A and B are shown apart, each in its own frame.
Chain A
Amino acid sequence: MNVLHPNPDRFVTDMLDGFVRSYPGLARLQGTQVVVRAQFDRKVGLVSGGGSGHEPAHAGYVGYGMLDAAVAGQIFTSPTPNEVLSAIRAVNQGFGVLLVIKNYTGDVMNFEMAAEMAQDEGIAVEKVIVADDVAVENSTFTIGRRGVAGTVFVHKIAGASAQRGDSLQEVKRIADKVAARVFSMGLALSPCTLPTTGKSSFELPAGQVEIGIGIHGEPGVRRGPIAPLAELVDTLISRIVEESSLGENDEVALMINGMGATPLGELSICARYATARLDDLGVKIYKSLVGEYMTSLNMAGFSVTVLKLDSELKSLLDAPAHAPAWR
């Protein structure tokens, strides 16, 4: 496959420059790879971030009612502690800062080191670790589940909580609640191409699908023949239902997320099958999102995310937000 050849050394910096120039409400913290709101409100600050290559995550979720800063690392590589520390300092308005961290070894280590450094400076910092990927077994012997597209719901709901003036402890409580109730699983029909090396992240023979992928081009937990789309969607939903004990009359937010190279039309077809399956189970779909929220460069594939709602989460989900990638 042919790809554009941006300068690999300037990929992230050029991307961020283009991004902030396109959205007037955003700015780049000078000398860093941190995207911030052009103006901060007097409230708890929200910072997230991670490796690049997941656009529109995370800079696309910086804005009113969502994140105050997004820290971008190199492609698929967690940002460094001093970059995260710069973001914490910038957004801290004296009400403390919540870090939204996806559960990947590098992200957790770098963000935790930054949190320790900020605490040394007297800034109150809390964290929420998102681990929504049910493809991975939860076990005390491993690092546990990955944080994937469900993180966007944490940005939205914790963001709304901070925006209405909740305390740091309250914003953290709500963020933890979302993290405990969000479940995702994805699959890929093709690997992604790393712009830094021009190489594919894995080889997938024709007619095969990689099930249980993460968002860094890492291979999935298993591989199988491409089944009809209805069956593939069913595989993902079944696992989510099993892990979340979803049942009749539960209310959910549903996200069908494209991995970067799957046409929106196909994502809508996925949504058709996913909603039909949830209807069959008697699960009520309160809100449905279809689009690209957390991608993996040019990977073809999609993920399904289900968030179990209650009245508290519904009102925060519905609260106004103005960030480039939230719709």
Chain B
Amino acid sequence: MNVEHVRAWLYGYRDRLTAVQGLLDELDNRIGDGDHGTNMLRGFRAACEHLGEAASPSEVLHKVSMGLLSTVGGASGPLYATAFLRMSQAWRGMEDISIKDLANGLNAALAGIQQRGGANVGDKTMVDVWAPATECISSDPTEHGVREASRAARQAALNTRQLVARRGRASYLGERSVGTCDPGSVSSAILFECLAITLVEGMEADPWTAQVL
């Protein structure tokens, strides 16, 4: 993965966010405050504006992180910003990112998300998606592993529907949070799907998000 691939991943994600903004807002409306899609799209639109100036994968992600930090706010702003910042740090000085490097970056990102937000697997947060997807790529650092990560991420996002939220604003609902997928998990799963589309030949966007509502 070179700097062009990283840019393609993020531009692809921004474009998918344009399409799913309403869906993410609706999920968030059911168990939070209804603006996850709006905030993510605002953030990634701003964050993607100056990516052309970045010379390396690490620089691209650093710009994304700073862009998100200064535009998103809420809980998702610092969490996604921390994830990209840690990945950027893990890739410092590298021109070409192998899938093994990718796994290292994702593990650093996951650790950052957990440190900042304090969530564990099963709390109905984005960690529920990042943990299994990162594990797929770590244990199988090949194109196949990246494809499996996308699948695992999607399944994990759908599985959050059954969980009781223990972190974030949905946690105030307790048992009433059951029955709705976690919006941050869905936006995270789309990020892993966009990653696979960038790296895996012949992989295309799947209409799975229709199942989340």
Contacts and interface: CB of A to CB of B under 8 A. Distances in A.
B186 interface: no
A101 B169 CA distance: 15
Interface stretch (B32-40, B93-101, B138-146, B149-157): B32-40
A127 B38 CA distance: 29
Interface stretch (B8-16, B52-60, B73-81, B196-204): B73-81
Contacts of A141: 166
Contacts of B31: 218
B69 interface: yes
Contacts of A51: 73-74
A78 B73 contact: yes
A105 interface: yes
16 contacts: A74-B74, A77-B39, A77-B73, A81-B78, A105-B75, A105-B117, A106-B76, A106-B77, A109-B78, A110-B74, A142-B171, A143-B118, A196-B38, A199-B34, A201-B34, A218-B173
Interface residues of A, number: 35
A108 to B, nearest CB: 9
Interface of B: 25, 29, 31-35, 38-39, 69-79, 116-118, 166-169, 171-174, 176
A77 B171 CA distance: 17
A73 to B, nearest CB: 5
B173 A113 contact: no
A325 interface: no
Given A78-B73, A221-B174, 15 more contacts: A76-B33, A76-B35, A77-B33, A80-B70, A104-B75, A106-B77, A109-B116, A135-B172, A143-B167, A194-B34, A197-B38, A218-B33, A218-B169, A218-B173, A219-B176
A159 interface: no
Contacts of A65: none
Contacts of B69: 80-82, 113
B20 to A, nearest CB: 15
A106 B176 CA distance: 21
Given A82-B70, A218-B172, A74 B35 contact: yes
Nearest to B176: A219
Interface in A119-168: 135-136, 141-143, 146
A105 B78 CA distance: 10
Given A78-B75, A106-B75, A197-B25, A219 B173 contact: yes
B38 A143 contact: no
B166 A142 contact: yes
A12 B163 CA distance: 35
Contacts of A80: 69-73, 77
A106 B35 contact: no
Contacts of A100: none
Contacts of B176: 219, 221
A110 B78 contact: yes
Contact of A217 (B33, B39, B116, B171): B33
A106 B117 CA distance: 9
Contact of A75 (B32, B35, B76): B35
Contacts of B25: 197
Interface string A64-89: 00000000011111111110000000
